[in-house]
Structure 1
């Protein structure tokens, strides 16, 4: 159960970034896409550290090595560093294309 919670913490920031970016493209959110991306990058880092803390805190008393628990930080950083910038570029291109389409009509 704790593993599932830690795994969900790793994917929360990219999912929030995608939802928030969709709302930005639909003009429901006035926050710039760059600010959304920066906030989600910080959330991804914070949630990765939080997932590691939760997993290390819930280890059995006799555990001598917490190396797999520290893997949550690296997995979270990898997910955050790959997914959020890629989706930011995609949504920037979508937003740019839609703004050019509106201007030309």
Structure 2
């Protein structure tokens, strides 16, 4: 495995750890386990793009949550820049939640 690939994997893992520190204020589960993060892209310049959704288009944190995600990811040493893109395609459903999140919320 090349050093660049290893670095990108390591950065991806760090990004996931940061995402797991961000919580939806209405649900006591982090946004990663909730299934709000659809994809994380890292290019060779360590620019990060995160494709995420919200539990609903009317989510009360629609303005602040993407900013929090962007700022926390940008704060990582290895990250050059970060951009968050919100999508509602596909729309979020409880099926996107991890088993851990479903257990935490009593859905299992």
What TM-score do you get using the length of structure 2 for normalisation?
A: 0.31
- In proportion to residue count, which structure has more helix? 1
- In proportion to residue count, which structure has more strand? 2
Higher relative contact order (CA 8 A, sep 6+): 1
